[in-house]
């Protein structure tokens, strides 16, 4: 069976609602709960079933910097961009969140969200009330560990681009990382759409937009990728992974 090309959805990639015992596959905490022998029915009394939010249209904000922190959310479909605006009005992209990934974790330490989160396409979310998660953590010892794991993953991704890497290495690492994250969710690792603008990718990689365009053009000339507007195919994943290795620390 040919894997679906992101962002198109099918039964294999769009999370269902689960059932009386089983959690939805985008539930950020299902593994932690099930490892403790707790299924959906045993958690009904804590009212921890998720709230479905959406669909949100491109440009709709999930939350804005300074909004009161009340919940974290798992992306069920679509892409969410997180960013901040500095004092001079310049935007700084912090990351792109794909199906199955969690947003809002960087607000746990405070009472307000420290960044903005905006939908880049049609987005659906599963929202988790954080006070309810804190209550659940008293019943499920593995839950706090899972929260730490998710936070550590976000920190690790943010730190990857902090080194003195070339534009080719940064761009290759972005494409390889994007591919791996999609594959983990059931999408094709080799054919996908870049749902974010080139300017957003460049901002995230701390490169000029023309530099990203130039690198992608060179990658295409060298037979590493095929690019048609936002549609992208990895033609030589092994070469891209070798180029990305210093950034991904492999």
pTM over 0.85? The answer is: no
pLDDT digits (tens, 9 = 90+) for 96-120: 998 878 888 888 777 899 999 999 9
The string of DSSP codes covering 180-219 is: HHHHHTTEEEEEEE--S-HHHHHHHHTS-HHHHHHHHHHH
Q: How far is CA 37 from CA 13, 18, 29, 240, in A?
A: 26, 17, 13, 41
Residue positions counted in the chain: 250
Q: How far is CA 212 from CA 100, 179, 204, 215, 217, in A?
A: 27, 17, 11, 5, 9
Give the integer Cα–Cα distance in Å for 26 and 14: 9
Angle 92-186-216 (CA atoms, 0-180°, nearest 5)? 45
**pLDDT tens over the chain, length 250 residues:** 556 666 565 555 555 556 666 666 556 566 555 555 566 666 665 556 678 888 999 999 999 999 999 888 888 888 999 999 999 999 999 999 988 788 888 887 778 999 999 999 999 888 888 887 777 777 776 666 777 777 766 665 665 677 788 999 999 999 999 999 888 878 888 999 899 999 999 999 999 999 999 999 999 999 999 998 889 999 999 999 999 998 887 6
Q: Residue 196 has what pLDDT?
A: 92
Contact 232, 188 (CB under 8 A): no
Q: Tokens 């015992």 — which residue?
A: 21
pLDDT digits (tens, 9 = 90+) for 43-89: 665 556 678 888 999 999 999 999 999 888 888 888 999 999 999 99
């Amino acid at each position: 069976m040919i894997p679906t090309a992101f962002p198109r959805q099918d039964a294999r990639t769009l999370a269902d609602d689960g059932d009386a015992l089983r959690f939805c596959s985008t539930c950020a905490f299902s593994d932690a709960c099930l490892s403790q022998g707790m299924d959906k029915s045993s958690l009904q009394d804590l009212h921890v079933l998720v709230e479905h939010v959406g669909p949100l249209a491109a440009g709709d904000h999930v939350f804005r910097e300074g909004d009161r922190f009340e919940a974290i959310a798992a992306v069920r479909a679509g892409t969410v961009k997180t960013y901040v605006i500095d004092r001079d009005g310049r935007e700084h992209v912090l990351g792109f969140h794909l199906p199955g990934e969690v947003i809002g974790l960087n607000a746990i330490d405070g009472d307000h969200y420290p960044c903005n989160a905006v939908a880049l396409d049609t987005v659906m979310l599963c929202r988790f009330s954080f006070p309810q998660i804190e209550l659940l953590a008293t019943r499920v010892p593995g839950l706090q560990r899972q929260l730490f794991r998710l936070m550590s993953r976000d920190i690790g991704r943010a730190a990857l681009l902090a080194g003195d890497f070339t534009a080719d290495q940064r761009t290759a690492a972005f494409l390889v990382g994007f591919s791996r994250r999609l594959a983990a969710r059931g999408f094709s690792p080799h054919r996908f759409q870049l749902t974010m603008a080139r300017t957003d990718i460049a901002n995230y990689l701390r490169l000029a937009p023309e530099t990203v365009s130039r690198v992608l053009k060179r990658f295409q000339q060298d037979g590493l990728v095929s690019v048609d507007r936002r549609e992208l195919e990895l033609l030589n994943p092994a070469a891209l992974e070798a180029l990305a290795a210093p950034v991904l620390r492999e």
